[in-house]
Amino acid sequence: MDDPDAAVLYEIAGGVATITLNRPDYRNALSVEIVNGVGDHFEAALADPRVRAILFTHVGNTFCAGADLRAAQPGVPQPTLRHNFVEILEKIMTCDKPVVGRLAGHVTAGGVGLAAAMDISIAADDAIIGFTEVRIGVAPAVISVVCLPKLRRADASELFLEGERVPAPRAAAAGLINRAVPRSELDDEVSQTLRRLVRGGPNALANTKQLVARVPQMPREEAWEWTAELSQRLFQSDEAAEGIAAFRERRDASWVPPES
């Protein structure tokens, strides 16, 4: 792990890169240093062949409180922004590696967008999640691009317009996160999820992420054609040959990290 006082911590173990938001005193708000740290470490994880999955977690009782309102105060110096939050959300959704969120605390505003962009987000059942933007006179504009496709219109209207913080089970029922589990079970649930993910072939995982994103947007005839071509290409790949051989020989495939 790097400097324990850094705004964002980074660690690799068992094929998983863990990115930890580490400004609990400021509720892990999206300050320039948080955004830069997330952007730097996320790019490092994508480029590192040892990394099979990426985990976002946090220190303190807030995963992320959204925009850093201190930055709007005159006279508060700010470092140079190297990464764009929108670009980070886009990379999370479109990258080749599965991304998991561990939400052990409150999640509000832009933090909800960050969690919703991930492939799998798991929260403690006593975590509180909310779109609080209207309470300060703004709207959940940018993160709506991530969140609205996951929500029914009725849920979106209620959650966006009321600005209330809701329990994690309510957010899970609305489709905003994957599931809420008892706090005592959260770490084990996240660990098991990551162990399952790293057992998948890297190319298979990348193409499956693409499939989940693209097929619902396609006309049915186009989807049949595209998925048939994808299936044929994957079955003919070296990765599939290794995976099938490992299945027949009752052993782990070559890509499975030894710790898994």
235 and 163, same structural domain?
A: no
Residues 182 and 239 grouped into a single domain = no
- Work out the mean pLDDT of the chain and round it to a whole number: 95
73, two tokens: 């105060």
Q: How many domains does the chain have?
A: 2
- pTM of the full structure: 0.94
CATH code where residue 236 lies: 1.10.12
80, 188: one domain: yes
pLDDT of residue 161: 98
Considering the domain architecture, whether residues 118 and 36 belong to the same structural domain is answered as yes
112 and 16 in a common domain: yes
Q: What is the pLDDT of residues 64-119, one digit of tens each?
A: 999 888 765 666 667 788 999 999 999 999 999 999 999 999 999 999 999 999 99
Residues 113 and 69 in one domain: yes
User: Are 174 and 239 in a shared domain?
Assistant: no
Judged against a pLDDT cut of 60, whether residue 1 lies above it is answered with no
- Is the domain of 175 the same as that of 238? no
Considering the domain architecture, whether residues 173 and 94 belong to the same structural domain is answered as: yes
- Dist CA 222 CA 216 (whole Å): 11
Distance CA 101, CA 104 (A): 10
User: Which domain, by its residues, includes 22?
Assistant: 8-198
Q: How far is CA 225 from the centre of its chain?
A: 30
Burial annotation 115-137 (CB, 10 A radius, 16+ → b, else e): bbbbbbbbbbbebbbbbbbeeee
Tell me the mean pLDDT in the region 234-241. 98
